[in-house]
C-alpha cells in the first residue's frame, strides 16, 4: 500500500472503532473540544497524522535498522524539550536510566556491534523519519495541555482531524497513479494497524502520559526493539542471539532505574 493510503485508511478504520465508545462522552465534551480546537489540531497534526506518514515514506528509502535507531531518539528528545521549554527537572537517575535503555536499544539493532553505526548511510528517508520523531516528541509534551475531556473523546477528535488533514494529499497520491491493490492481506493489515497501533496504542500512551508524565512514558518506547526481536523469533523463525538478551536486560534495567527512583522521589 502507498504511504498515504495506509495512513488515511488507518485512521478511518480507527475512527470507526472508537466512535461507538466515544459517542456518550462526546455529548458532554463537544463544547470544550470546540473551544480548544487549536490544541486538538496541534495534537492531531504532530502526533497522529504526520508521524505515520513520515515513517512510511522514510521506510521506502531507508532500512528498518536506520528507522529503529532514529526512533530511539524520541525519549531523549522528550526529556530535552521538557527541560528546555517547560523547565522540567531531570534527575541523575532518570538520565542514567535513559542512557541504559538507549545502550540496550543500540545493542539490539546493531546485533551487538555498535561500531556498525559508523557505516549507516543517511538519506532522505532518515531525514523524514527524524522529522517525524521530533514531531512525536513535541506531541508527547503538549499532551499535558490537552483539553480536560474523556480520553475517548480526545481520540475521536484527533482521529477525525487527521483524516481531514490527510484527505487532500491522499487525493494527490491517487491522482498520481499510486493505487492500493485490494486483497485479503491488505484488508487484514489495515484492520490490524487501525485496531492496535492506532486505537489501543494511542489510548494507552495518552493515558500513560497523563499518569506518569511524558519523559517517563516515552522511555517505554525503548521496548519496541525487544518486542520486535521476540516477534521475529516467534513469527519469522529468526535466531535469538546473545545481543538480544543483553539488549533486553539493559533496556529493562534502564526503565527500572528511572521508574523506581522516580517512584521513591514521589
**CA-based nearest residue to 52, from 14, 21, 98:** 14
Q: Name the residue with higher pLDDT: 222 or 191.
A: 191
| Residue entry with cell 522528550 | 78
pLDDT band for position 4 (50/70/90)?
Answer: very high
**CA-based nearest residue to 155, from 197, 211, 202, 193:** 202
260's grid cell: 523506581
The pLDDT assigned to 16 comes to 95
| In the predicted structure, residue 189 carries a pLDDT above the cut 60 | yes
CB distance 11 to 48 below 8 Å: yes
Taking the alpha carbons at both ends of the chain, their separation in whole angstroms is: 47
CB distance 57 to 128 below 8 Å: yes
pLDDT in tens, 125-168: 888 988 998 999 999 999 889 999 999 999 999 999 999 999 99
DSSP SS3 for 96: helix
Q: According to DSSP H, which parts of 143-223 are helical?
A: 151-175, 184-193, 201-212, 214-219
8's grid cell: 488515511
**CA pair distance 255, 258, nearest whole angstrom:** 5
0.85 exceeded by pTM: no
**CA pair distance 98, 116, nearest whole angstrom:** 21
Amino acid at each position: 500500500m502507498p504511504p498515504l493510503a495506509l495512513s488515511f485508511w488507518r485512521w478511518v478504520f480507527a475512527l470507526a472503532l472508537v466512535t461507538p465508545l466515544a459517542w456518550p462522552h462526546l455529548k458532554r465534551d463537544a463544547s470544550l473540544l470546540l473551544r480548544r480546537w487549536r490544541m486538538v489540531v496541534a495534537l492531531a497534526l504532530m502526533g497522529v497524522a504526520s508521524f505515520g506518514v513520515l515513517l512510511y515514506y522514510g521506510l521506502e528509502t531507508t532500512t528498518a535498522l536506520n528507522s529503529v535507531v532514529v526512533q530511539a531518539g524520541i525519549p531523549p528528545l522528550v526529556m530535552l524539550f521538557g527541560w528546555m521549554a517547560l523547565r522540567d527537572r531531570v534527575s541523575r537517575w532518570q538520565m542514567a536510566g535513559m542512557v541504559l535503555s538507549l545502550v540496550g536499544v543500540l545493542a539490539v539493532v546493531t546485533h551487538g556491534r555498535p561500531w556498525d553505526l559508523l557505516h549507516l548511510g543517511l538519506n532522505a528517508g532518515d531525514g523524514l523519519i527524524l522529522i517525524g520523531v521530533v514531531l512525536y516528541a513535541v506531541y508527547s509534551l503538549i499532551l499535558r495541555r490537552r483539553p480536560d475531556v474523556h480520553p475517548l473523546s480526545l481520540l475521536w477528535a484527533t482521529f477525525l482531524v487527521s483524516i481531514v488533514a490527510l484527505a487532500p494529499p491522499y487525493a494527490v497520491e491517487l491522482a498520481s497513479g499510486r493505487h492500493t491493490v485490494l486483497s485479503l492481506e491488505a484488508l487484514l493489515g489495515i484492520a490490524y494497524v487501525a485496531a492496535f497501533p492506532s486505537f489501543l496504542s494511542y489510548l494507552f500512551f495518552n493515558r500513560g502520559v497523563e499518569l506518569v508524565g511524558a519523559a517517563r512514558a516515552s522511555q517505554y518506547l525503548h521496548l519496541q526493539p525487544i518486542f520486535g526481536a521476540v516477534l521475529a523469533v516467534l513469527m519469522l523463525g529468526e535466531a535469538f542471539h546473545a545481543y538480544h538478551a543483553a539488549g533486553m536486560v539493559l533496556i529493562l534495567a534502564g526503565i527500572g532505574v528511572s521508574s523506581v527512583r522516580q517512584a521513591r522521589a514521589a
